[in-house]
Amino acid sequence: MKHIQRKMMHKLGAGAVALSVLLSALPAVAADSDKPILELRLQGGSNTAIVNGQNANIAKPYSKSGALMVPAGVFKKAFNSKIRLAEDNVVKISSGARIVSLTIGSRTAWVGGHKVTLPAPPEMSSGVLMVPLRQVAEGLGGKLEKNGAGIVIRMEAQEEAGTVAEETPSIDNDEGKTQIGNSYYDWSMNYPTGLVIGQGGGDESVSTFMDENSAYYMEVHTASQPVPLNADDLLQQLVQTAKETGEIVVDRKSFPKSKVPYARVITKDGDGVLWENRQYYDNGRLYVIYFSDAKATNYKDLAQYAGLLNSFKTSFNAQDKSIKDLSTVVGGTREAGNPDYGVSLSIPAGWKMDDQRMQYESNDGSSFRLNVTSAPADATLENWSQQLQKWLSDSFVSTAYESQKTYPLEVAGVQGLVQEYRYNFGDGWVKEYNVLIQQNGYRYLAEYAVPEKVSKGNDQFNALISSLQIDFQTVASNFGQLEEDDYLADKTKTVKKTSKAYEYTVNIPRYWTAISDQFELGDVEYQFTGGSFSIKVDNDKSFELTVSQLKDFYDKQGKSYKNLKVEEVKDVTFAGVPAASFTFHRVEEGIGYTGRQIVLERDGKTYTVATTLNDANNTGVQSNALDSTLNSFNFVK
């Protein structure tokens, strides 16, 4: 259901973590056979650390939730720790046989094989990965003590443990492999000794690499490109992208006579880092390479990597056993799921994958989603099904949806219930299958939607559901009370919201989804199936100017676009003060909707309250909810 509501990184992308580690890691202090004691001294708010008696510049440590956050690179700098990338934003820091595994944005970590909760999650700050000092240092075997306003960490120099190297694939782990690539996306290149495979995109369209000594960092991106591009087109795209991101282009060239024409630019980013970026067009795809050396000071310094970069090919020879294949595609699908929920399934290759949210999408508009919520007391599959049916009739006018059938189906070893129906926002009919499962106090809602114009019958649905495996004990072990399905709530129930800064209150329906609900900051926005509600406050633009600009806009747009009709412009009283109301109807990409903007002024501030509601979703329930919300808006002193 929620994906129906949703209907209406540049180059670093998945490798942001890798780059921050690359930039922050400097040569380490070597340990001798007598295992000397290594020492790191640092202080919150100071750019200077003392590493084994030598001053070193670092990103400023800062406090968060009681933890001192420090750049991850200091552990390599001070203790010769290894920093490696894994899947799903995981960074592994190791010293000898000790390993600390962290996930960006998560307070859950693994230290020496034991699960721990961090006081603050690792995070990116100004392009640097910051981690909680104490938990990482102690996890690596360090001892901490206060020293005035600073902290001293001491650690015995560690010998390399054979098992640690296995944490990250390299040429040494792939005997006989001299090339690396992806058979699904048709590319390959040399696989030099010391190349570390980093984090990639969930659909394998992004692959990241770095040198084991942090000498360089590299990404390979692939994307569908139905319109052919020549070398000059590719060069123009590279230059334009550099301009849009504020980078300086220091060298550029196109290669139209190459076997596969390509273009190359060298840029300097805002941090002074030099990048060599390349684009190739082949196989109906755009291939993009991003390469950087943080120590390069002149664009000519990147020439030393020409052998690696020039080895890139827009092909993959499956018969060549010397190529390491990064693709996990088997039989046209790849494995997906979320272990926190005990969920696994097979997703068609080429679909966009978000395992964290368990949301998967195809370029043809098909999608699959799995949502887990707590089941209300005494809930059954039957009354849940009835609630969903009511949600459908409350959300779509009768001509915009059709309930088809409901039937039992065994899913993941338990009895579930399937609802089939179709709906149309105005841009074409979509067939949807809802699979309802309830176990151990939790609800699992699997939703598969496919535009009828691309539907291949039930085959795709059957394949997805047949592959779905759920360990129903996992959620009970990992979670307590989860959210319940707000969109199934009584649509007449509201919650009163107050803005002290802008002196107003408004009652918001509980079933609406907050897009921005920081009422003290000014702009507020909510969405629901087929509609939206927003409040914007402008301290600089007067009421008269805002109304004048809107009148001019609608006058010009109404004359220029046949799909826009201004239905009414009038003076009204809103929330007890004079206001101007604009009502219009518009059709965009086949979807018709009615919009309204109400502009008013109070104490020098201009308020614009706006609503939209699709024709397909303009039911009595939905329009009444919008009207009630508008009527509830009041100023307070």
Q: Is 110 exposed, middle or buried (0-12, 13-18, 19+ CB in 10 A)?
A: middle
Asked whether the beta carbons of 106 and 68 are under 8 A apart, the reply is no
Q: How far from the centroid of its chain's Cα atoms is residue 45's Cα?
A: 30
How far is residue 220's CA from residue 354's CA, in Å, rounded to a whole number? 19
Query: What are 534-592's pLDDT values in tens digits?
Result: 999 999 999 999 999 999 998 888 788 888 999 999 999 999 999 999 999 999 999 99
Whether residue 1 lies inside any domain: the answer is no
Task: Inform me whether the pLDDT recorded for 105 exceeds 70.
Answer: yes
Q: In this structure, which amino acid lies at residue 472?
A: F
β-pair partners for 369 = 359, 447
Whether residue 7 lies inside any domain: the answer is no
Whether residue 349 lies inside any domain: the answer is yes
Q: Which of 291, 325, 359 is the last residue of a domain?
A: 325
Residues 86 and 199 in one domain: no
Q: In this structure, which amino acid lies at residue 67?
A: A
Please report the pLDDT score of residue 541 as a whole number. 92
Please report the pLDDT score of residue 562 as a whole number. 83
Asked whether the beta carbons of 358 and 343 are under 8 A apart, the reply is yes
Q: In this structure, which amino acid lies at residue 444?
A: Y
Averaged pLDDT for residues 422-442:
95
CATH number of the structural domain spanning residue 139: 3.30.457.10
Averaged pLDDT for residues 605-612:
96
Whether residue 9 lies inside any domain: the answer is no
How far is residue 30's CA from residue 38's CA, in Å, rounded to a whole number? 10
Q: Which of 444, 471, 487 is the last residue of a domain?
A: 487
Task: Inform me whether the pLDDT recorded for 167 exceeds 90.
Answer: no
pLDDT tier at 384, thresholds 50, 70, 90: very high
pLDDT tier at 88, thresholds 50, 70, 90: low
Domain count, the chain: 4
Whether residue 2 lies inside any domain: the answer is no
pLDDT tier at 15, thresholds 50, 70, 90: very low
The helix or strand, by DSSP H or E, that contains position 22, with its residue range, turns out to be helix 16-24
CA atoms within 13 A on the CB side of 238: 31
Residues 504 and 536 in one domain: yes
Nearest to 18 by CA among 283, 291, 231, 210: 210
Averaged pLDDT for residues 193-197:
82
User: Would the CA dihedral through 65, 67, 70, 76 be positive or negative?
Assistant: negative
Token pair for 441: 């106090």
Residues 27 and 84 in one domain: yes
The larger pLDDT score, comparing residue 600 to residue 150, is at: 600
Q: In this structure, which amino acid lies at residue 27?
A: P
Task: Inform me whether the pLDDT recorded for 211 exceeds 90.
Answer: no
Averaged pLDDT for residues 480-495:
83
The pairing of strands 108-111 and 114-117 is antiparallel
Whether residue 32 lies inside any domain: the answer is yes
pLDDT tier at 126, thresholds 50, 70, 90: low
Query: What are 461-475's pLDDT values in tens digits?
Result: 999 999 999 999 999
Residues 212 and 65 in one domain: no
Averaged pLDDT for residues 296-316:
95
Nearest to 409 by CA among 401, 417, 420, 419: 417
Q: Which of 81-90, 154-163, 285-294 has the lowest mean pLDDT?
A: 154-163
Residues 440 and 481 in one domain: yes
pLDDT tier at 23, thresholds 50, 70, 90: very low
The conformation of residue 204, written as its DSSP 8-state character, comes to S
The larger pLDDT score, comparing residue 6 to residue 282, is at: 282
Whether residue 8 lies inside any domain: the answer is no
The larger pLDDT score, comparing residue 211 to residue 233, is at: 233
Residues 195 and 156 in one domain: no
Please report the pLDDT score of residue 258 as a whole number. 95
Whether residue 375 lies inside any domain: the answer is yes
CATH number of the structural domain spanning residue 582: 3.40.1000.10
Residues 114 and 138 in one domain: yes
Asked whether the beta carbons of 437 and 458 are under 8 A apart, the reply is no
Nearest to 394 by CA among 490, 310, 326: 490
What percent of the chain has a predicted confidence (pLDDT) above 70? 89
Averaged pLDDT for residues 117-137:
85
Asked whether the beta carbons of 108 and 122 are under 8 A apart, the reply is no
How far is residue 7's CA from residue 510's CA, in Å, rounded to a whole number? 20
Mean pLDDT of the chain: 87
The larger pLDDT score, comparing residue 83 to residue 622, is at: 622
Q: Is 536 exposed, middle or buried (0-12, 13-18, 19+ CB in 10 A)?
A: middle
Highest mean predicted confidence (pLDDT) among 101-115, 198-212, 350-364: 350-364
How far is residue 495's CA from residue 630's CA, in Å, rounded to a whole number? 14
Averaged pLDDT for residues 484-506:
88
The helix or strand, by DSSP H or E, that contains position 380, with its residue range, turns out to be none
Residues 511 and 616 in one domain: yes
Residues 132 and 257 in one domain: no
The parent domain of residue 396 ranges over 333-487
The pairing of strands 531-538 and 564-574 is unpaired
Averaged pLDDT for residues 166-195:
75
Token pair for 234: 């590719």
How far is residue 363's CA from residue 357's CA, in Å, rounded to a whole number? 18
CA-atom Rg of the chain in angstroms: 29
Residues 180 and 316 in one domain: yes
How far is residue 506's CA from residue 533's CA, in Å, rounded to a whole number? 11
Task: Inform me whether the pLDDT recorded for 16 exceeds 50.
Answer: no
Distances from the Cα of 349 to the Cα of 47, 362, 368, angstroms: 46, 9, 13
Q: What SS3 string covers 293-360? A: ECCCCCHHHHHHHHHHHHCCECCCCCCCCCEEECCCCECCEEEEEEHHHCEEEEEECCCEEECCCCEE
